[in-house]
Amino acid sequence: MVGRRAQAGTAAGIMARREMLRLAGGLAVAAFLPGAPAAAQTYSATSISQAAQRARRDVGLLGLRADNLLRHMVADGPAHPAVAVRRFRGEQARLARDLATIFNKNVSEDDWLLIVPTRELDFVLAMQPLGIRLAPSADMVEAMLKRRLPQIDPMAGDEAEDVLLTIVFDALGLDRRVALFEQMRNDPVLVGALKDAAAAVKATRYGLAVSELERVMRAMVAPDSIKAVQENLGKDAVLRLYNALIVRFVPFLGWTYFNALLLATIYFNRDTTATVLR
């Protein structure tokens, strides 16, 4: 009898502790979001719309497709860069259209923020004051798919880092203006990432290059970089930059799809940039 009472007491204690932890977790979430009742911050299968739950799952599956695309492109790069470029052109069309369908037909814009991965929240929240739509329209996607990969011709005196930054500028819809370009080339965080990315590309270590290109892109969207773009090129350039990322679904996939674009551009310009990137 004593043993059973002790076990019952232990079980009751465990349940009480679990309930306390659950309540504490709810209060912790509420603490970070002042002004809203704690109950409103507790998400469950019933408080998140079924459409949002399906969209989170479907975007996750498409994110795996983007990962797979990038993985194959990395593997193809050293010996078959042209194959990697063709793969990118074919796969990106299906990927982008499937994602556009989810965000424009299957889930409300009110639920989009629930689909943003936590590691991209700062990037997404930085765009909110500009009133930018987080996902592209179907027309934006189709216009993007019609654009060809750029032809990059290094300028006299360009080093590998300059060529990579030129590729990034083009992907973001930015003009290579001397003042902005030089300001970016003097940013120690960006320069470090560019040097490491260039070294990886020269060594045909494309998996490492992709990792370093993500560092480059995170430096490009840092507050100081965005401020530099606005001061040198104006607010419209900032909008172009963000829209170039949105149309590649960076807020929801992270940098995988966008980095596949950068890698495809590097492969596509392998001959014209050979003097500096090999």
Same domain, 57 and 12: no
Q: Residue 13 pLDDT more than 90?
A: no
Q: What mean pLDDT comes out for the span 9-26?
A: 42
Contact 61, 254 (CB under 8 A): no
For residue 255, the model assigns a pLDDT of 97
Contact 151, 272 (CB under 8 A): yes
For residue 46, the model assigns a pLDDT of 57
Split into its structural domains, the chain has a count of 2
Same domain, 85 and 154: yes
Same domain, 170 and 78: yes
Q: Whole domain around residue 6: which residue ranges?
A: 2-41
% of residues, the chain, pLDDT over 90: 81
Same domain, 25 and 78: no
Same domain, 239 and 205: yes
Q: Which residues contact 185 (CB under 8 A, 6 or more apart)?
A: 161, 162, 165, 191, 194
The DSSP result for 126-170, as a single string, is HHGGGT--SS--HHHHHHHHHSPPPPP-PPTT--HHHHHHHHHHH
**Dist. CA 239–CA 250, nearest whole Å:** 15
Same domain, 245 and 273: yes
Contact 99, 59 (CB under 8 A): yes
Q: Is pLDDT larger for residue 114 or for residue 8?
A: 114
Q: Is pLDDT larger for residue 13 or for residue 226?
A: 226
For residue 47, the model assigns a pLDDT of 56
Same domain, 17 and 102: no
pTM: 0.82
Same domain, 229 and 93: yes
Closest alpha carbon to 220 in 168, 278, 149, 158: 168
Same domain, 36 and 61: no
Contact 82, 266 (CB under 8 A): no
Confidence of residue 5 (pLDDT cuts 50, 70, 90): very low
Same domain, 246 and 167: yes
pLDDT in tens, 156-193: 999 999 999 999 999 999 999 999 999 999 999 999 99
